[in-house]
Chain A
């Protein structure tokens, strides 16, 4: 009996220690680094004798662009994502499973490859430009008024809207349609029903989806680097500065990003968790325009239903599907030679197997990527399962869960920098940039991914009930865990494993900073684009996308509802 207790305590202790060392320490180290090295940073950023506070001005500019982009990306996500979530949660139609797959795709797609596909689609004649004979937009096209580069916004919307759709869809599926039906029978039109019943009841989900999307946009690096042209967001700036060995402004910017992300996101999370559902203040009725709004809603309800669905679906196709088609099509076009100049040197084959021999680079990068993804996912899963138990059973569980959300919202390049400074040559000098440092970095975000996915399953299944049943039938706590809990959680764990694996496979921003000479595939794509090896980039992007499609298929099978 006592032995068991010692084991239990030991497991708890080991889990918590590894959590702190492997996940939390790297997340927060950058902040302490900035504080302890404040003098250096102040000198470099604010008072450099040569350039004065130019770095500080740049930091402000990059941050402003990042925040603007994230804000407008979330606005567009909501605009297109809410109707899609509603459609998926409430309607049955042919092709629904396919639509769900398309929406999951951006979560598993390697961002740098996808960014390149988007770049092709909008700026070249291989893409949509083929329809009009020239690129639709220039790579540096800035949307007027909101001052956000078009391509960056497009790619951020494509990569972030699944967070809104999936969280909101899950909430709407839990929300019984009977409330909407009640509202309709009481005389409210479908739009009024949405505004007065569905929206307030799903507000927490809209907020947490929005928060995730915002954080993802803030931290997006891989795709942004490929489509960025002359523009630099804060996450990209960190990568650039580290490469220029300007560690001081990079770490200061990273620290600011972590602080901003936490400052924007945590209060909202906390607030929404506490608030749950309670009445919204009726702002509109106090202005006495409620009646007019209701009549307007009534007039357009019904008529708009199809238009908004069609618009959302169209936007989805344009930002997610078209780039993938364009990039795969281009690989075919460029296979043996450049289709426009006819030069063999411009073909995929020449670049892969010619003098530059990108093929062997790519093979090596694939090997590194797969090893990293396997090891980091394995370690993360080993940590995640006991963590789920702790979160669900322990009185500090809720706090632990909130803390675990932080690595998910910390911009990845800031995270990479933090890991580099903590373990790398500048800090503890334990690990040099290379494959092991990549693994240490990927563990940081893999643990929360697996934990979240497993907890979602845990909470949907009334596991304590079945465990209780098992105990009354004579099973010991260990038997129960082995024969009831883990098998029931299997799907959640598996889904988490696959998400974490694809996440690791596609991660660009942090990997860039810690990889040293062990290049993984996504940074390779960025390098190829930057060195203008377009056909090689085409091939590598398509290859990454196909890889993620295969993983998506496995994911689909794993989480399929019975």
Chain B
């Protein structure tokens, strides 16, 4: 039923000076939970507001369930929108808020009462029906906002940073609750967030956006295991970036020469000899051993800094070629290292990603703003 297709969608602000959304194409499948993920200012909320009809695109089309919705006002798009700061009407109590949709859509009164009650029971707030929004906690307000959006009968739920204003613990609880609700009711959901952990936990698929463009769409595993863009490798999870060039390519893999003549093997064979590249290796992929040892992709260095983070220990290792790598190891496994201790680090050739060196420089390419 309600799938959402965005075709060449474009929106500019300030008379074209700021391109908020630049010709994006995206297909949100029916009953899918899709998250638009990106740093603030990347245009993800603009996309959501265009789907809702709160702003009109300059170019391109939006189809909701095969219906072209250009020019259709928000009230006729059959959507539910959950706002970042809840936007509960302060002059109505919880019941008035939740039954607002049925009321303004002029449903039969019994139907509205029934739906309102169901929705409030679903978010476990039926006993607070006569409370006013300002008397509720943040988590409760967001649950009411959710119930309100659902009570209007929408099959497509749009969530704009719905958990952004909540405390960390409540955020964790509520994100599973939202996903369960969406899945139980068989809704399609588009969720906007800048929190990658939230996106990973909640989504069927994630679209990573930067500066008005979608860089990659995929399941959380795909984005983590096979980032196709250097920014995705940086934004989803964490990566060490090592600069170098390809010094040899054969059928099994390539050899990358890093700064200071250090060479490592990778299984990527898509690059050509002599090409400038950036090697991305996740901190948790690295092995770390004491002393100087030999082995595949072994690199020597010393512990420059370490932090105990609870579940993990985080080492910063200064390699002999002066590159710095961050390594994360589970705190309860293996030996611990101390400051300035010599160490040998390495990574399996098939667990690294090789990207072309970005034309405008690595730092600019990874910048969040």
Stretch at the interface among B77-85, B221-229, B247-255: B77-85
B162 smallest CB distance to A (angstroms): 13
Stretch at the interface among B21-29, B36-44, B88-96, B359-367: B88-96
Is the CB of B75 closer than 8 A to any CB of chain A? yes
A181 B54 Cβ-Cβ under 8 A: yes
Is the CB of A474 closer than 8 A to any CB of chain B? no
Complex: A244 Cα to B22 Cα, angstroms: 76
On chain B, the residues within 8 Å of A133 by CB distance are none
Is the CB of A290 closer than 8 A to any CB of chain B? yes
User: Closest chain A residue to B145 by CB distance?
Assistant: A182
Interface centre among B76, B81, B91 (most CB of A within 10 A): B91
Kindly identify, within residues 446 to 500 of chain A, every residue whose CB is under 8 Å from any CB belonging to chain B: none
Is the CB of B100 closer than 8 A to any CB of chain A? yes
Interface centre among B53, B85, B89 (most CB of A within 10 A): B89
Complex: A551 Cα to B158 Cα, angstroms: 50
Known: A181-B87, A200-B91, A279-B93. A294 touches B54 (CB 8 A): no
A190 smallest CB distance to B (angstroms): 7
A189 B75 Cβ-Cβ under 8 A: yes
A190 partner, pick from B73, B78, B103, beta carbons under 8 A: B73
Complex: A301 Cα to B90 Cα, angstroms: 24
B106 A279 Cβ-Cβ under 8 A: no
B90 partner, pick from A186, A192, A201, A290, beta carbons under 8 A: A201
Interface centre among A176, A178, A192, A294 (most CB of B within 10 A): A178
A182 B75 Cβ-Cβ under 8 A: no
Is the CB of A318 closer than 8 A to any CB of chain B? no
On chain A, the residues within 8 Å of B168 by CB distance are none
Kindly identify, within residues 171 to 185 of chain A, every residue whose CB is under 8 Å from any CB belonging to chain B: 176, 178-179, 181-185
Is the CB of B105 closer than 8 A to any CB of chain A? yes
Complex: A268 Cα to B152 Cα, angstroms: 37
Interface centre among A185, A188, A196 (most CB of B within 10 A): A185
Is the CB of A341 closer than 8 A to any CB of chain B? no
B73 A184 Cβ-Cβ under 8 A: yes
Interface centre among B53, B85, B92, B103 (most CB of A within 10 A): B103
User: Closest chain B residue to A197 by CB distance?
Assistant: B89
B89 partner, pick from A179, A290, A294, beta carbons under 8 A: A179
A182 B89 Cβ-Cβ under 8 A: yes
Number of interface residues of B (CB under 8 A): 31
Known: A179-B89, A279-B96, A294-B104. A184 touches B75 (CB 8 A): yes
- 11 new A-B contacts, CB < 8 A, other than A182-B89, A186-B75, are A176-B87, A182-B87, A184-B54, A184-B74, A187-B76, A187-B104, A278-B91, A280-B91, A290-B106, A291-B106, A294-B106
B100 A183 Cβ-Cβ under 8 A: yes
Is the CB of B64 closer than 8 A to any CB of chain A? no
Complex: A248 Cα to B77 Cα, angstroms: 68
A-B contact pairs, 5 of them (CB 8 A): A182-B87, A187-B105, A277-B91, A279-B91, A290-B106
A185 partner, pick from B81, B89, B93, beta carbons under 8 A: B81
On chain A, the residues within 8 Å of B77 by CB distance are 185
A188 B73 Cβ-Cβ under 8 A: no
Is the CB of B326 closer than 8 A to any CB of chain A? no
Is the CB of B148 closer than 8 A to any CB of chain A? yes
Complex: A285 Cα to B107 Cα, angstroms: 12
Is the CB of B149 closer than 8 A to any CB of chain A? yes
B132 smallest CB distance to A (angstroms): 8
B83 A181 Cβ-Cβ under 8 A: yes
Complex: A408 Cα to B79 Cα, angstroms: 49
On chain A, the residues within 8 Å of B74 by CB distance are 181, 184-185
On chain B, the residues within 8 Å of A181 by CB distance are 52, 54, 74, 81, 83, 87
Kindly identify, within residues 280 to 323 of chain B, every residue whose CB is under 8 Å from any CB belonging to chain A: none
Is the CB of B244 closer than 8 A to any CB of chain A? no
Is the CB of B101 closer than 8 A to any CB of chain A? yes
On chain A, the residues within 8 Å of B76 by CB distance are 187
A192 smallest CB distance to B (angstroms): 5
B149 A185 Cβ-Cβ under 8 A: yes
Complex: A185 Cα to B103 Cα, angstroms: 13
A265 smallest CB distance to B (angstroms): 24
In the complex, per-residue mask of B125-156: 1 if CB is within 8 Å of any chain A CB, else 0 = 00000000000000000000000110010000
B82 smallest CB distance to A (angstroms): 9
Kindly identify, within residues 377 to 431 of chain A, every residue whose CB is under 8 Å from any CB belonging to chain B: none
Is the CB of A246 closer than 8 A to any CB of chain B? no
Is the CB of A342 closer than 8 A to any CB of chain B? no
On chain A, the residues within 8 Å of B53 by CB distance are 184-185
Is the CB of A295 closer than 8 A to any CB of chain B? yes
**5 closest A-B pairs by CB:** A188-B104, A185-B81, A184-B74, A291-B106, A182-B87
Known: A185-B149, A187-B75. A277 touches B90 (CB 8 A): yes
Is the CB of A314 closer than 8 A to any CB of chain B? no
User: Closest chain B residue to A185 by CB distance?
Assistant: B81
B104 partner, pick from A176, A183, A277, A280, beta carbons under 8 A: A183
Complex: A294 Cα to B89 Cα, angstroms: 19
On chain B, the residues within 8 Å of A187 by CB distance are 75-76, 78, 101, 104-105, 152
On chain A, the residues within 8 Å of B104 by CB distance are 183, 186-189, 192, 196, 294
A274 smallest CB distance to B (angstroms): 15
On chain B, the residues within 8 Å of A189 by CB distance are 73, 75, 104
B106 A185 Cβ-Cβ under 8 A: no
Complex: A197 Cα to B149 Cα, angstroms: 16
B52 A185 Cβ-Cβ under 8 A: yes
A293 smallest CB distance to B (angstroms): 9
Complex: A528 Cα to B77 Cα, angstroms: 63
Complex: A397 Cα to B52 Cα, angstroms: 46
B161 smallest CB distance to A (angstroms): 12
On chain B, the residues within 8 Å of A178 by CB distance are 83, 85, 87
Complex: A253 Cα to B179 Cα, angstroms: 70
Interface centre among A197, A200, A285 (most CB of B within 10 A): A197
Complex: A290 Cα to B102 Cα, angstroms: 12
B100 A185 Cβ-Cβ under 8 A: no
Complex: A243 Cα to B58 Cα, angstroms: 67
On chain B, the residues within 8 Å of A295 by CB distance are 106
On chain B, the residues within 8 Å of A186 by CB distance are 75, 80, 100-101, 104, 148-149, 152
B111 smallest CB distance to A (angstroms): 12
A2 smallest CB distance to B (angstroms): 45
Is the CB of A354 closer than 8 A to any CB of chain B? no
